[in-house]
Amino acid sequence: MCGIVGYVGRGSSRAFVMSGLEHLEYRGYDSAGFACIESASGKLLFAKAVGSLHSLVRKLDGSSIDGSVGVGHTRWATHGAATELNAHPHFSADKTISVVHNGIIENYGVLKQRLIQQGYSFSSETDTEVIAHLFDEVMQRMSGLEQVVQAVVEQLQGAFACVVLLERYPDYLVAIRRRSPLCIGLSSGQQFVASDAAAFAEHTRDVLFMPDSSYALVERAGVRLFSFAGLPLDYVPMRVDAQWLRSTKEGFEHFMLKEIYEQKRVLQETVAFCSTLSQDAWKQTGFSAEVVHDLRELFFVACGTSAHAAQIAAFFFEQIDQIRVSVELASEFRHRALFGFDHSVFVFLSQSGETADTLESLRAVHEAGLRTFSLVNVPQSTMARESDGHLLTQAKREVSVASTKSFTSQVALLYWLAFRIAYEKGLVPQDALAECQQDLLVLAEVFEEVMERYDSFIAHDWAPRYAAYEKFIFLGRQISYPLAREAALKLKEIAYCFVDCYQAGELKHGPIALVEPRVPVFLFSVLDEGVYRKLIGSAQEVKAREGRLVIFAFEGQDELIALADDVFIIPHVKPLLGPLAMTGIMQLCTYHIARVLGHSIDKPRNLAKSVTVE
């Protein structure tokens, strides 16, 4: 969750670290800190501040704190409140060792008690401080940097990435990774360390993605990599697309608004990408055509927005491929017993490819000898590297913490994949693939048309009225229910509103007691006639109790539209793509409510873009 940036070279570490942290602030913005080895004195200097990175930049203005070796950190709190004491870096008692850290040290309680018994005192509530004191304790009795690091990592349990500065070894950064992302940018005469390659994309395209359970000794001249067992490791840098890693607002007020309006392009690029895969799809996915022929069951494993995308996609594979589909929340699934999964494939969805719960579930399935496949948006992500195969969604870099275009790209790619599997199984003719791609291109036009039709109305009329409400009920049925859940999540994430979401048929089984004029009800329609008739009944139940109805309906659904206090009318698309046709306008509604309320839309409180802790 937290952002880590480190630099060792000839230049100013502070300038680079501050610039790198700006690219990673989406990973955490509770507090920020910087530490360096001053070149002249060899002393460790630091500064920390509560709040966004700008608070730290203001604190450093006019300061001489700088050096050619330095680290920085933006924090998303796990252990301890967002205070300056808990902000990173953390230090040994004599302030000669500095640590920045992302993740959780699971055995920190045991380690802390042992260190206290040895006379160490702690000034923060974090688990990170344990690492600094462990380095100090080991260095009291051992010499040699490799031996010191080896002795420390042998004691740490959990999922973590950390970078360590030591006055005794002023020319080095020590980078440590276990089940939490950390990478090294390689360059002549200078090296970079970060939790995301976006931090140093402007300086190098050659990246070493550290393997699991490894540590690196990073100096100006190069990098030495070791396993936790102390064995030297060879490595081959990966060349990354720097353009993919960069992103600007391009004149939009917020990244989220820009990313909402990029979704027409995302859908078009998804179709173009699928066209390149049509004849060679299974090579990319990591399993054979024979596996596809025998496929009887799919398990989708994901969290948050990705789970909602999977829930919509489940209808694709059940109706088009006639196979059973289960959608599992990764945080729960990883604790289940795994047996009896012949003729099954496990599909893992993650925008970042680093989501800790999903990644741990993938590893559990992989260790059980079962087939794994991932759908990710980051080509160099851990999930892409550890799956048997993967497909890349076409969202490109998404900066806003609240996901928009990644959701759309996941659903669109899975729609195509359902048809590709059906063709492989002989359930549809080859023409169906071309028709599927044409359906997505039509959807792209509808997507943008609806947003352009309603954007001004939402911003200047609708959102100011609905921003006055504090509680909402969202309803969907069948394939629109996962969309209702995603809409509710967006309103919670960026507008901080209390939203309860229900399957419309369940309204009368208890939740209808909540319906009153002060709690607007949002209802998302479908293009299935039978389910549509049932939704009319739910809408009538709300109106009979003086509820206020906001309805997302399709053209021609006049009986439902007549019940609405406010309505958004969507052109017809293929029935299975109905939720995607409503997605853009739904996202605009939640965006403009948050904007009226004056909230931090791109960086909502308490959240982070990449959830790398369990």
Q: Which residues does residue 75 pair with via DSSP β-bridges, in sequence order?
A: 31
**Token pair of 254 as six digits:** 């917020």
521-524 β-sheet, strand order? 498-503, 471-476, 521-524, 549-554, 566-570
Q: For residue 442, which amino acid is it? A: V
Q: For residue 404, which amino acid is it? A: T
Nearest Cα neighbor of 608 from 24, 115, 23 is: 24
Q: Classify the phi-psi angles of 192: left when phi > 0, otherwise alpha if psi is within -120 to 50, otherwise beta.
A: beta
Q: Are 128 and 161 in contact (CB under 8 A)?
A: no
Helix (H, G, I), strand (E, B) or coil at 163: strand
Q: Are 526 and 500 in contact (CB under 8 A)?
A: no
**Token pair of 162 as six digits:** 């950390």
Helix, strand, coil percentages for the chain (3-state, nearest 5) = 40, 20, 35
109, with CB counted inside 10 A (0-12, 13-18, 19+), is exposed
Rounded distance between C-alpha atoms, residue 149 and residue 227, angstroms: 11
Q: Is 36 a catalytic residue?
A: no
Nearest Cα neighbor of 441 from 273, 555, 270, 571 is: 270
DSSP 28: -
Question: What backbone phi and psi angles, to 5 degrees, belong to 479?
Answer: -75, -15
Rounded distance between C-alpha atoms, residue 608 and residue 611, angstroms: 6
Q: Classify the phi-psi angles of 529: left when phi > 0, otherwise alpha if psi is within -120 to 50, otherwise beta.
A: alpha
Q: Are 71 and 89 in contact (CB under 8 A)?
A: yes
Q: Are 105 and 160 in contact (CB under 8 A)?
A: yes
Q: Which residue has the tokens 């006379």?
A: 119
Rounded distance between C-alpha atoms, residue 375 and residue 360, angstroms: 15
Rounded distance between C-alpha atoms, residue 20 and residue 465, angstroms: 40
CA dihedral of residues 200, 352, 384, 17 (deg, nearest 10)? 20
Question: How far are the Cα atoms of 68, 162, 190, 192, 232 from residue 186, in angstroms, in the given order?
Answer: 16, 18, 7, 7, 18
Buried b (16+ CB within 10 A) or exposed e, 309-336: bbbbbbbbbeebbebebebbbbbebbee
Catalytic residue among 2, 36, 162, 274: 2
Which stretches of 116-252 are assigned E, i.e. beta strand?
158-166, 173-178, 183-187, 190-194, 206-209, 214-219, 222-227, 232-233, 238-239
Q: Are 347 and 301 in contact (CB under 8 A)?
A: yes
Give the chain's radius of gyration (CA, Å). Answer: 26
Question: How far are the Cα atoms of 174, 211, 286, 376, 378 from residue 385, in angstroms, in the given order?
Answer: 24, 10, 11, 11, 10
Q: Which residue has the tokens 């955490």?
A: 28
Rounded distance between C-alpha atoms, residue 42 and residue 365, angstroms: 48
Q: Is 609 a catalytic residue?
A: yes
Q: For residue 286, which amino acid is it? A: G
Catalytic residue among 258, 405, 603, 609: 609
Catalytic center residues: 2, 609
